[in-house]
Amino acid sequence: MTDTSRPVACITGAGRGLGAALARRFARGGYDVVLAAQTAPEIDLLAEELAAQGAATLAVQTDVRVANECERLIDATIAEFSRIDVMINNAGVAAYGPAEDATPADIDRMIDTNLKGAIFGSLAAYRVMKQQRTGRIINISSIAGKRFLPNESVYCASKWGLQGFSGTLQIEASRWGVHVTTICPGGINTPFWRSMDQVPFPDHIDPERDFLSPEEVAERVWETANTSSRHMVPEVILLPMIPEPAGER
């Protein structure tokens, strides 16, 4: 029988990168964990790993671009654990290049996943948290939601939209005891960046050396999720310390 006294975190995009690091951190911190991703094999393997470490887990194949699938994810969470304490909308995709090169498929993929997927996930969780009178919704945004970055126009648009949605939902949700936070990290050293050979990084920047690790960001998300409920944390910005170019002081 599931121990309903343990807190429960639901994480989308949990199969790899930051999502997997989040799942491991919350499981290590005493949470039961619901893993969601568009493809099942990765989250099934991660669920086995976390279960071997003592965490109760549930893997739910979910396409966050579809509202009904996000509702199904939360319904499965409640059916298994009878509660949801933290909803982390982490699923995200990107395409790099000049604005005029963005295809309709690229645009749909980023807006549907990064923005609409986070909206659908937030609202599905909020439906339950409002009844519970408690809960935290944490949306993984980006520094791209705070700045104008060349070659990331549609990605920026998706993250700026997420900032607007999250900030407004925080105002509406706070009266019910529900917290909403956006996490805005800079570059994270994940397979996404390692596969992007066309990104023209300056010579003094090495993503594997200089970017944030998934574990660093996961730790800050963990701290945010477990801060006092007596105050709000609307936004967290987390940037890597990039070294100066050679010869500059």
> Catalytic residue at 155?
yes
Q: CA–CA separation, 40 vs 109, rounded Å? A: 19
Provide the phi-psi class of 62: left if phi over 0, else alpha when psi is between -120 and 50, else beta. Answer: beta
Token code pair at residue 107? 């645009």
Count of Cβ atoms closer than 10 Å to residue 28 Cβ: 14
∠ CA 76-34-222, nearest 5°, is 140
Amino acid at 2: T
Token code pair at residue 230? 């007596």
**What are the residue ranges of helices labelled H in the chain?**
17-28, 40-52, 67-81, 104-110, 117-132, 153-173, 191-194, 207-210, 214-225
Token code pair at residue 130? 């409002």
Nearest to 236 by CA among 181, 170, 187, 189: 181
Active-site choice (31, 96, 126, 155):
155
Residues annotated as catalytic (active site), given as ranges: 155
